Structure 1
């Protein structure tokens, strides 16, 4: 399908439909698409664009179910984007605070901005028929549609979590809170909390996260106290555990691999400022720009380098590392509640390919670790193939690798810590700590 250009004239609903279309038809990420359209709108409209487009991602199966019953035949070619506009209209009517009058009227009007002036009658008829027929009240005897997840992921969660599968799926569909991590190199934790109090920003604390706090409601991050001064970073509670689990010590050489956008790099630098060397490595040059921006704002001095983790010969200086954080490329199934488009961008076939890539990187980086050194393996996945099964097999195949448990309940048969979405308000994450034998 040919790409549909961003409409020349801005229109809130047309731009939102364009974002939905780019994600579903061309596999673009919501972040990439939203950045383009949000340049054209004010802050309030940008919040609406994000809420509506990601809301459609969360409710897509039921929206498509309704659409199929309302359209005589699918739209094709350049008209296809109008289907995505109708999905947005259905979402507004049934799942948002937008009035039905505005949801219908403004959505119909937006068709003209998408080259669909001749289809305004169709859009109006579909949305009016949805209201008239009361489709939202009719029951759907299909748990996969009701789950809001693709079939492959629904079944994968069933297979991995058995009796807890429904709870995992529910948490995956929930809204994620915003976590901050206080940069203790720039301000004390108590002083930053006082700054939030003075600004009337409500938050809660977490006993498990000495540097973290959770905002009680969504805020403009750049307007929070101390943003420009680097007093905090936005980082989920699960990701904040990485630097603590790595346990970097003064004068050590540390590699943070697949480091972008740099949240864990910054935390390592904050907890152990007197390291001998800290390298943030990533293969994506564009994402490395974000690492540079974040390190500059947080006032951390680290070495930043572009390189493929699976081929160290192209970037490694032949000096062994004391500790390596491998934040491995993964399915990101643990952060779907934060990035709901992931469920439609990932395919079942991706999992085996990702597991193979993870293993190649594990094997490649293990040779860069000093005897007695520590590797922390991390993913933001909830799938065993990328996590416990991956580390089980690595331990079996690697004689000089030993599991260094993060929790007392760990065993070689069930290594690592699997954090599920919503657990202590965190994203889904997995960690396993491995130590290389000294001889």
Structure 2
């Protein structure tokens, strides 16, 4: 089947039907066996989503009238064509021909002249399309207007570089399982396999690859020597400063990277309880622990409904990574630009506050809670923590002494792209 048609189908599922990038792409790749075809479809889908808010106004300028709703796949195919012509090294004639041929696989052979004419017009009007790309902040940054405005308000000196970082290809960062391996040994394995890699800047067990690759191709991946985890996420476990034989809660724990990191860096006296609301995501968490040969008590539950899963024994440490806008990982999940709405943020803030208030009573006196998000929006970060601290009693805000990120009033923020990391926020609180 034509790879452009497959990409257009996946984009229709994401943009028109609201499916996630991960789910839509997984389904789309099923019929493809050739790894090059799979990689090309992935490049097309990610690329169109990454530049959607720039490509869409360009496409509209090329249409005499809007396409019908039932022809959304053709709109997606045209976006695929524009992406190839502007961002890929594929010769224009080849990209145009293959994109036109995709009409047959979409069961719309009648559209061949339409697609051909619009894309040829795009080639002729390339300078005009460049002008459109720079007409507004939304166009040149390829982000929705509401999000641009939030970043301008929250980060007046950094918003432009943060938007640019969202559109870059993210690195593949690994976390070495220190129970089974050392970072030095694994770097040697990678070098022997001809894989370019270097130590991460801040994370003790992190390795950053020069070029992303299929995880199944990594040495000793299946036997649990290494996992994929961004360096910013690897900073959570050390912040907990876990004492011997501690009892730790990992709330909202799937897919299990932080749970596993806690267990990898401590002996078997550590007792970890991991709670995840989604059954499907709990399955991912369980699979992660199984591959790494680690053990935690796992519950599928709304962690805020403590009576549904808690046995009454308090925790020495709590790691809370609540649902958030995921604005710090847009470069990895560009469908966030499509699916997220401004009105989602107040609802997420309410959910984050609910979780924080529900879990605080489970912490022992003297215990520590780390609140972390993959968001760069102040409302979800300092805003949530400030409200919690100001309305509560016996809550100490700990200074996070670190050489990564930027100190905020209540925590520490990593902005997207800083030392190749995802955007992350951490706050450290102690119960007095």
C-alpha distance in 2 between matches for 1:236 and 1:98: 31
The unaligned stretches of length 5 or more in structure 1 are: 1-9
How far does residue 133 in structure 1 lie from its aligned partner after superposition? 2.3
- Distance change in 2, residues 1:408/1:122 (3 Å): closer
How far does residue 411 in structure 1 lie from its aligned partner after superposition? 12
Q: Secondary structure at the match of 2:65?
A: coil
How far does residue 119 in structure 1 lie from its aligned partner after superposition? 1.2
How far does residue 420 in structure 1 lie from its aligned partner after superposition? 0.3
Q: C-alpha deviations, 1:80-114, integer Å up to 9, x for none? A: 21111111011011111222112111111111222
How far does residue 11 in structure 1 lie from its aligned partner after superposition? 2.6
Is 1:77 the equivalent of 2:72? Answer: no
C-alpha distance in 2 between matches for 1:312 and 1:412: 32
How far does residue 315 in structure 1 lie from its aligned partner after superposition? 1.2
Is 1:421 the equivalent of 2:416? Answer: yes
How far does residue 412 in structure 1 lie from its aligned partner after superposition? 11
- 1:5 corresponds in structure 2 to none
C-alpha distance in 2 between matches for 1:321 and 1:141: 54
Q: 1:20 aligns with which of 11, 15, 21?
A: 11
- 1:286 corresponds in structure 2 to 280
Q: Secondary structure at the match of 1:348?
A: coil
- 1:382 corresponds in structure 2 to 376
Q: 1:109 aligns with which of 101, 114, 123?
A: 101
- 2:427 corresponds in structure 1 to 432
CA contact (8 A) 1:235 1:263 kept: yes
State the Cα RMSD in Å.
1.7
C-alpha distance in 1 between matches for 2:117 and 2:100: 10
Q: Secondary structure at the match of 2:16?
A: helix
Q: 1:124 aligns with which of 116, 132, 136?
A: 116
Q: Secondary structure at the match of 1:72?
A: coil
Q: After alignment, is 405-414 or 301-310 more displaced?
A: 405-414
How far does residue 206 in structure 1 lie from its aligned partner after superposition? 2.5
C-alpha distance in 2 between matches for 1:335 and 1:260: 16
- 2:131 corresponds in structure 1 to 138
Q: After alignment, is 10-19 or 269-278 more displaced?
A: 269-278
CA contact (8 A) 1:63 1:91 kept: yes
Counterpart mapping for 1:134-173 below 5 A: 134=126, 135-138=128-131, 140-173=134-167
What TM-score do you get using the length of structure 2 for normalisation? Answer: 0.96
Q: Secondary structure at the match of 1:374?
A: strand
Is 1:396 the equivalent of 2:387? Answer: no
> What is the number of residues matched between the two proteins?
428
Q: 1:262 aligns with which of 253, 256, 264?
A: 256
Counterpart mapping for 1:13-412 below 5 A: 13-41=4-32, 42-134=34-126, 135-138=128-131, 140-407=134-401
C-alpha distance in 1 between matches for 2:176 and 2:144: 37
How far does residue 141 in structure 1 lie from its aligned partner after superposition? 2.4
